[in-house]
Structure 1
Amino acid sequence: MEFRRVEESIFKALMILSLLIVVGSLLGVIGTILWKGLPVLSIDMLTKTAEGGYYLGKGGGILGAITGSLYLAIGGTVLAFFLSIGIAFYLQKEYSGGTKLSNLTRLSLDILWGTPSIVYGAFGFAVMMYFHMRASLIAGIIVLALLELPIMTRAMEEVIKTVPRELKEVSYSLGATRLETTLRVVSKQALPGLMTGVLIAFGRGIGDAASIMFTAGYTDRIPTSLFDSTSSLPLAIFYQLGSPLPQVQQKAYASAVILLAIVLTISITTRFLSRKYTKYIIK
């Protein structure tokens, strides 16, 4: 009996230690970025584009990188959403019937999920070279959509599985078609989880640099069309940290603060909306 108590105490201590490591790591990352970035952050960084010689310590800001990141991430997430939602519903047994095609699709999604983002960038670059295309916003959006697709699809699939079968059967018994049940019952019931899946994919997209390095290009200007090159915050941070000048390196932490603020804002907003719609879920 005494041994069991000791065993439980050790297990509880390990759980608490794991929790402290996770929370401590998060606070450490956020604290370091804020400590080094906030003193350098200025209004000019948020409202101005980079001037000539910006990466040599001259004036200007990273408005082009902020705008480019939002264009890329939002565009990629929207495109991935329209592809993922259909695949996620198809992978349910009542739609695909557990066919070999559905199993192959899951395997393909798992492989794509584990593929390094630099491989997506290399693939996109090879396609662009074949069709004699230059780096552009639309190319970056398409590559980011491919990167987010497996993440969003698998998350949505698992959420849709949690919808009680009884709700679907009641809908069918009232004369609703499969499409009507999907749109009016399953989608509404799974909405909070679907929003979370979109958020996870968006966070991966806006923080990725390797996949868009060769496809979206890099410019300090704000893109005015889908075929213009664009910059992004992750690439701006990469180039700033690569500078030999300490004042430019410090700006990288300010850029990281902006990127962190965007992700946290979207995360908090999504969770608020998710909780708001959770009360409409039938349990």
Structure 2
Amino acid sequence: MSDATPAYILTLSCPDRKGLVHAVSGFLLDKGANIDEAAQFNDQSTGLFFMRVRFSVEGQSLEELQQSLAAFAPAFEMAWKLHDARKPVPTVVFVSREGHCLNDLLFRWKSGLLPIDIRAIISNHRDFYQLAASYNVPFHHVPVTADTKAAAEARQYEIIQNEKAELVVLARYMQILSDDLSAKLSGRAINIHHSFLPSFKGARPYYQAHERGVKLIGATAHYVTADLDEGPIIEQDVARASHTDSVEDLTARGRDTESQVLARAVKWHSEHRILINGSKTVVFL
């Protein structure tokens, strides 16, 4: 098939049983599709089967394929999603006063390294409005206090909805989302935490790490849930630390790790490589 042939990504999960790969590939064959990439995983601890398939097909629209899948899936108790592989994921980024992750995401996006479309930046401070303007991205200053949190989150969610964002990235956004907003963004909000979870949850993890004299510092990208820093982990990495390092040294060194970990998580999510498996994730690389 030519490069102009429409391409789609199918992700699915269901109870494991014999013949699932055959059934899915047979379904795609019947549609005249060519499988470009496929990966599957059987979680023996839960009895669940996970699969990601990228395929090309002519003469079938996204809507037609979705209708066919809706008829095909129930026999296998299958949860599924179908994505246009060529469509960048509409994205809104949240940030506070640490801009290294935001700056990295903006650069990668404009360089064509991330298949996303950053449509807005939301911040509880004004620090990065000029950075947003330099990339021609709308910047929304939404202050948050204990008294205004509900109204602020309502405004944030309104922006997300207006921009039709399918992904929200908390790029060092230092406010805890309410249970309500966390639920609304379930499975589509990624946070970067500046420690190797489950160690050093909550605030000031570099200070906690310094007090414990750790030899490795890390960063963790995870999906946002109502439980602080407990969401399904997508990606992690570490950097060496020394007894000579100050908190400031650890913080400076950790910024690179945070940026890289978050960028990888955003890339994998926007390429539809991540399936949530209870409190964990399946990541097809």
Q: Tell me the TM-score normalized by structure 1.
A: 0.29
State the structure with more CA Rg.
Answer: 1
More strand by share: 2
* Higher RCO (Cα < 8 Å, 6 or more apart): 1
TM-score, normalization by structure 2: 0.28
